[in-house]
Amino acid sequence: MSDEWDALAERVAGHARNYLDGLTRLARGEGGDATLPLLLMEVSQVSLAGAQLGASRDVILSGNWEPHLSEDPDLDEIRTALAERLGPVDDYAEVFDPYKDTSVTPYRLSDDLAAVAADLIHGLRHYQAGRPLEALWWWQYSYFNTWGNHAGAALRALQALVAHTRLDVVEERTTA
């Protein structure tokens, strides 16, 4: 594996760990009133890792085979906690693929955030097992196939929510 791949794997692993740590903390309620902007920041930062994977040449595994991992952890507890924290803003509408399918699809932020986490965890498990190329392959493949879409959709929804909280203010009345 080249130094270039090693450096990219290390950067993506760092982004993955940061995202998972931040998401877990926010699911526990540590964000308080800043949960939405903090989620926006977490998704934005992990999207940078995705963009780096998207800009990189294709990662090809020897024999085009991914080594087996045991079952990935269940993230339902985090997803459920996020759904509770997000409450009425958890559900939103999104266009899944603006080039192939322009119909509006219902989404949930909690599902999107957990789906991103699941793909990142799978790659991180390869990375922690000393297989950085397999980790890169998985992160890149799953970025194009699943988590990139979920992160992009969540990013748009979170940006809209944060913008609404900042811009949709009641006009103050002045007394003369």
Q: What's 102's domain CATH number? A: 1.20.120.1550
Inform me whether the pLDDT recorded for 171 exceeds 70: no
pLDDT (0 to 100) of residue 2: 78
**144 within domain boundaries:** yes
**What was the pLDDT predicted at 152?**
95
Q: Is the pLDDT of residue 1 over 70?
A: no
Task: Look at residue 58 and tell me if it is in a domain.
Answer: yes
| Mean pLDDT for all residues in the chain | 90
Give residue-wise pLDDT tens across range 67-114: 677 677 889 999 999 999 999 999 999 887 778 888 888 999 999 999
Q: Is residue 175 part of a domain?
A: no
Q: What angle do CA 75, 81, 86 make, to 5 degrees?
A: 125
124 in a structural domain: yes
